[in-house]
A and B are shown apart, each in its own frame.
Chain A
């Protein structure tokens, strides 16, 4: 009964100040929704690959090619033969299984497409103990021409998931029978592909590789499961491999053994199954989640504090009637709690509605209901934050003595300072978010633009499978298509997949590691890579023999000790690669191309003109003709290569998107939070403006009587916000400078922290303030009524 009375009183107070109550609920709901979304993202990152049972006991063998003093070149794959040697020579190993990625055409009743799938060892599911919804995974891949796929893939090819026993056709007319269907993989999976075809199939690459176990080519993803209690070190794997390679390798290869559960946060590597995550990003996101919740709490506290003057009278009456301090404290705190509960519930609903859009934009599969315990923890955190925000106004309001509420102006002055304090904090947080968003965006734009050091605009890369004249004929026909500006062949570059290392010694004796690339004569022109000295290749050659001529990148020439690019031209480069020592004449030096990320320096490169390795046709499209041009290229492909796989093409910008996916996510997160910050600030400002409008009604009426015009009144409304804005900008400038200096320091190449980001953010906060106050002033139209002049 008493509880119901208390609840009634609290509800009545909230309804009485319904305007501010509404702003509080909306503000805290937006903050909760943003913080909850980020928390879900963080959880998604931290639980990568955890859907695989015992993910921490499944190990991935990756290969490291890194001579002393050279940049580490890590490859997520390992040579195929190592798996067999580990089976026979490593007693700690319980099971080893490999996956070999392939892109072939696949045809089912629902149509055909170019499919990305794996050749898999028959015992794959002894290592990756995935959950099947149909079929027996222990025997599913034990026979050739069998395959296992996820429910999603079954739906794609058959429109249903009861497909065990059904057949699909790969690479034309090779029939493969489905033996099991897996439960769908979540988005936070490193496995990447969702179809596994038995490696026993004689046309499968694993079968080919098993015939050549000493090949050192890092070709397969190798997964291990150890016996209970057993350990396997990378050194042990290295010793076993070297024993079978009989020690005559020129590849200074080592191995890493990484638990699958930790794979997502490993350093970037070649041939990754899926883009990596970064712990610093997760940390930054966690901080951001706290930051936005703090911002929402500040907004709540600020708005509740703004009501203090207005509610002093009410509190004095309550004190006069015998209410004790703790009664008032509890009342205000319970009001805050009720607001917060309403807001958190609203935030939850908001998140549920917004998640599909966020998932779509960021390529995620975040869900509120994946872990009810985690969700409960997040909501509890939000409620506690809101509760804490209510403490300050509760303390202030409950400290009112049972005498006159407005006995002097000190109280007003003090509450004015409090209000300004909250406003400064809120604006400082908003400005910091705006500055950081801009810097992150500028760094992303720099990384995917100027930092590349070549022109990557509107470039598509087409996978090619043939050699020689057929390729060149295709290129010539593509060049004739309307909307194609240029075309050039390369091995993979500027895609950074499948880097081939080469080593040589500098004049000082230090080993220098190069990234070997094969390009045609059009490549440098097409990508706007400048020739600093010497000449371009005159032609390409299609023989499996070492190149006679090479072109160095600028950093390659510098690493070899040449002071000027021209000094390198005409010299002979002696280097080790592909199990042999090669001598090639340096015919030119070009500017550096950054094919890795801005987190590292551009790798020294050596280019040759061996067309045998060409695997990409790079095509630059003319602006605004892309759709029609792409369709024409597709038709040309079908015409020229009727027996081949469907065309596999992608924009180079997609590769950049994968390369910098974490930065894109950070940028989106900052952007989203900046929008949330703007919303909260607008709400906070509106609340304060409402309060000030009420508290300044009398003063405005006086000024109006004295001849003040609308502008004078507006200026009066604006004045209280000027100092907080200045203070907030100063504080935010300092905080952002520190944060962004630290963040940019993690890149080898980055934008400078120029004044524009700070000025823009400051201007934005001023603009937001002006617009909010103007709109509110116009809506409430500062009263020209004379009534306040006659109220005693």
Chain B
């Protein structure tokens, strides 16, 4: 029988039950969700976007979340990134319960440990590429003297340094997403959450962007990617398949 949370089926050629916590080995999970529910209220009805999701993500892990539109992937991602609070359930980050944290503490956590990459890039139109990237460090309250070198390093990393002074509207979609990735990694976050990062890109750019994300993971970053692309999902270490607000399958790639 397929269940959510701790009792999900783990496809590693053979079906087996996943351990309650700890993930690989005995390390503490970076993100741990327990019986998570999230409801949207619309004027017409209440929508249950998440219905009791439990999940652990280990440090350094590369997880892909798949599923049809409206199954709750983005909602799950938002809660992992502390952008939304769950209606009920527990949310742990590095062993710390985030459920009762104040907004300012969550803001600090996002600035310090989480990098976001969105499908629609979400760059600020009025700021240059450089300034958009710098923004992530400003909210991290980094020492201003070190900013420049780190921003240049991040831009070099994604190949966008020559566009530093351009405004987002002067860049192609692929360049904008590279800028968004640079912004996500410049603060050296513990985890990168990418929500359909290639959804607005052509196949060439999509492959390039996904390549950058993969290389970040290979260098040790924890990476969670929401994607519709089976080929991209196949490259993850673990694939979570969501349907109707629940994780229906968890498939771990054979090492």
Residue pair A409, B167 in contact (C-beta under 8 Å): yes
B234 in the interface (beta carbon within 8 A): no
Residue pair B125, A409 in contact (C-beta under 8 Å): yes
Contact with A706, one of B74, B103, B135 (Cβ below 8 angstroms):
B135
User: Complex formed: what's the CA distance from A705 to B9 in Å?
Assistant: 32
B71 in the interface (beta carbon within 8 A): no
User: Complex formed: what's the CA distance from A645 to B125 in Å?
Assistant: 84
Residue pair B110, A784 in contact (C-beta under 8 Å): no
Residue pair A709, B200 in contact (C-beta under 8 Å): no
Contact with B124, one of A408, A702, A712, A785 (Cβ below 8 angstroms):
A702
Binds A, one of B77-85, B92-100, B240-248: B77-85
Assess A789 versus B122: contact at CB under 8 Å? Given A408-B169, A707-B112: yes
Which residue in chain A gives the minimum CB-CB distance to B127?
A699
User: Complex formed: what's the CA distance from A629 to B139 in Å?
Assistant: 68
Residue pair A790, B139 in contact (C-beta under 8 Å): no
User: Complex formed: what's the CA distance from A703 to B74 in Å?
Assistant: 18
Assess A790 versus B135: contact at CB under 8 Å? Given A409-B125, A704-B83: no
Residue pair A790, B81 in contact (C-beta under 8 Å): no
Which residue in chain A gives the minimum CB-CB distance to B85?
A784
B238 in the interface (beta carbon within 8 A): no
**Residue numbers in A under 8 Å from B135 (CB-CB):** 703, 706
B151 in the interface (beta carbon within 8 A): no
Residue pair A786, B119 in contact (C-beta under 8 Å): no
A638 in the interface (beta carbon within 8 A): no
**Residue numbers in A under 8 Å from B157 (CB-CB):** none
A792 in the interface (beta carbon within 8 A): yes
Residue pair B167, A707 in contact (C-beta under 8 Å): no
Residue pair A712, B139 in contact (C-beta under 8 Å): yes
B153 in the interface (beta carbon within 8 A): no
Contact with A along B189-227 (1 / 0, CB 8 A): 000000100001000000000000000000000000000
Which residue in chain A gives the minimum CB-CB distance to B195?
A790
Contact with A705, one of B81, B108, B120, B169 (Cβ below 8 angstroms):
B81
- Which residues between 107 and 139 of chain B lie within 8 Å of chain A, taking CB atoms? 107-112, 116, 118-120, 122-126, 135-136, 139
Which residue in chain A gives the minimum CB-CB distance to B105?
A709
**Residue numbers in A under 8 Å from B13 (CB-CB):** none
A791 in the interface (beta carbon within 8 A): yes
A249 in the interface (beta carbon within 8 A): no
B231 in the interface (beta carbon within 8 A): no
Assess A784 versus B83: contact at CB under 8 Å? Given A705-B110, A792-B200: yes
Contact with B along A664-708 (1 / 0, CB 8 A): 000000000000000000000000000000000011011111111
**Residue numbers in A under 8 Å from B108 (CB-CB):** 707, 709
**Residue numbers in A under 8 Å from B37 (CB-CB):** none
**Residue numbers in B under 8 Å from A785 (CB-CB):** 83-84
Interface size grouping (class) on chain B: 20 to 34
Residue pair A706, B139 in contact (C-beta under 8 Å): yes
Residue pair B103, A710 in contact (C-beta under 8 Å): yes
Residue pair B124, A790 in contact (C-beta under 8 Å): no
Residue pair A707, B139 in contact (C-beta under 8 Å): yes
**Residue numbers in B under 8 Å from A789 (CB-CB):** 83, 116, 118, 120, 122
Residue pair B110, A707 in contact (C-beta under 8 Å): yes
Which residue in chain A gives the minimum CB-CB distance to B135?
A706
Contact with B139, one of A409, A708, A786 (Cβ below 8 angstroms):
A708
Residue pair A790, B111 in contact (C-beta under 8 Å): no
A411 to chain B, nearest CB (A): 12
- Which residues between 151 and 193 of chain B lie within 8 Å of chain A, taking CB atoms? 167, 169, 183
B140 in the interface (beta carbon within 8 A): yes
**Residue numbers in B under 8 Å from A699 (CB-CB):** 124-125
Interface size grouping (class) on chain A: 20 to 34
**Residue numbers in A under 8 Å from B255 (CB-CB):** none
User: Complex formed: what's the CA distance from A711 to B81 in Å?
Assistant: 20
Residue pair B111, A706 in contact (C-beta under 8 Å): yes
Which residue in chain B gives the minimum CB-CB distance to A784?
B103
Contact with B along A698-738 (1 / 0, CB 8 A): 11011111111110100000000000000000000000000
Assess A705 versus B83: contact at CB under 8 Å? Given A408-B169, A789-B118: yes
B19 in the interface (beta carbon within 8 A): no
Residue pair A709, B107 in contact (C-beta under 8 Å): yes
Residue with the highest number of chain A CB atoms closer than 10 Å, among B110, B112, B140, B200 = B110
User: Complex formed: what's the CA distance from A356 to B203 in Å?
Assistant: 75
User: Complex formed: what's the CA distance from A702 to B112 in Å?
Assistant: 15
Residue pair B119, A705 in contact (C-beta under 8 Å): no
User: Complex formed: what's the CA distance from A784 to B167 in Å?
Assistant: 25
Assess A705 versus B116: contact at CB under 8 Å? Given A409-B167, A784-B103, A786-B83: yes
B104 in the interface (beta carbon within 8 A): yes
User: Complex formed: what's the CA distance from A505 to B225 in Å?
Assistant: 104
Residue with the highest number of chain B CB atoms closer than 10 Å, among A702, A705, A707, A710 = A707
- Which residues between 386 and 435 of chain A lie within 8 Å of chain B, taking CB atoms? 408-409, 412
Residue pair B74, A790 in contact (C-beta under 8 Å): yes
**Residue numbers in B under 8 Å from A409 (CB-CB):** 125-126, 167, 169
User: Complex formed: what's the CA distance from A791 to B195 in Å?
Assistant: 12
**Residue numbers in A under 8 Å from B167 (CB-CB):** 409
**Residue numbers in B under 8 Å from A701 (CB-CB):** 122
Residue pair A790, B118 in contact (C-beta under 8 Å): yes
User: Complex formed: what's the CA distance from A709 to B126 in Å?
Assistant: 20
Which residue in chain B gives the minimum CB-CB distance to A407?
B169
Contact with B136, one of A706, A712, A786 (Cβ below 8 angstroms):
A706
Residue pair B119, A710 in contact (C-beta under 8 Å): no
Which residue in chain A gives the minimum CB-CB distance to B196?
A790
Contact with B122, one of A412, A702, A709 (Cβ below 8 angstroms):
A702
Residue with the highest number of chain A CB atoms closer than 10 Å, among B74, B81, B104, B139 = B139
Residue pair A790, B119 in contact (C-beta under 8 Å): yes
Residue pair B107, A790 in contact (C-beta under 8 Å): no
User: Complex formed: what's the CA distance from A712 to B136 in Å?
Assistant: 13
Residue pair B119, A709 in contact (C-beta under 8 Å): no
**Residue numbers in A under 8 Å from B136 (CB-CB):** 706-707
Assess A708 versus B107: contact at CB under 8 Å? Given A703-B139, A790-B195: yes
User: Complex formed: what's the CA distance from A771 to B108 in Å?
Assistant: 27
Residue pair B116, A790 in contact (C-beta under 8 Å): no
Which residue in chain A gives the minimum CB-CB distance to B83?
A786
B14 to chain A, nearest CB (A): 37
User: Complex formed: what's the CA distance from A708 to B141 in Å?
Assistant: 10
User: Complex formed: what's the CA distance from A446 to B112 in Å?
Assistant: 60
User: Complex formed: what's the CA distance from A547 to B123 in Å?
Assistant: 93
Residue pair A792, B139 in contact (C-beta under 8 Å): no
Residue pair A706, B110 in contact (C-beta under 8 Å): yes
**Residue numbers in B under 8 Å from A408 (CB-CB):** 169
Contact with A710, one of B78, B83, B104 (Cβ below 8 angstroms):
B104
Which residue in chain A gives the minimum CB-CB distance to B141?
A707
Which residue in chain B gives the minimum CB-CB distance to A416?
B126
Assess A707 versus B84: contact at CB under 8 Å? Given A409-B167, A790-B74: no
A-B CB contact pairs (8 Å), 23 listed: A409-B126, A699-B124, A703-B135, A705-B116, A706-B111, A706-B116, A706-B135, A706-B136, A707-B109, A707-B139, A708-B107, A708-B111, A709-B108, A709-B139, A786-B83, A786-B84, A789-B120, A789-B122, A790-B74, A790-B120, A790-B195, A792-B119, A792-B200
20 further A-B pairs in the complex, CB-CB below 8 A; given A698-B122, A704-B83, A705-B110: A409-B125, A703-B135, A705-B81, A706-B136, A706-B139, A707-B110, A707-B112, A707-B136, A707-B140, A709-B103, A709-B104, A709-B107, A784-B83, A785-B83, A786-B83, A789-B118, A790-B74, A790-B118, A790-B195, A792-B119
The 10 closest A-B pairs by CB, nearest first: A707-B111, A786-B83, A707-B139, A707-B110, A786-B78, A709-B107, A702-B122, A707-B107, A792-B120, A709-B104
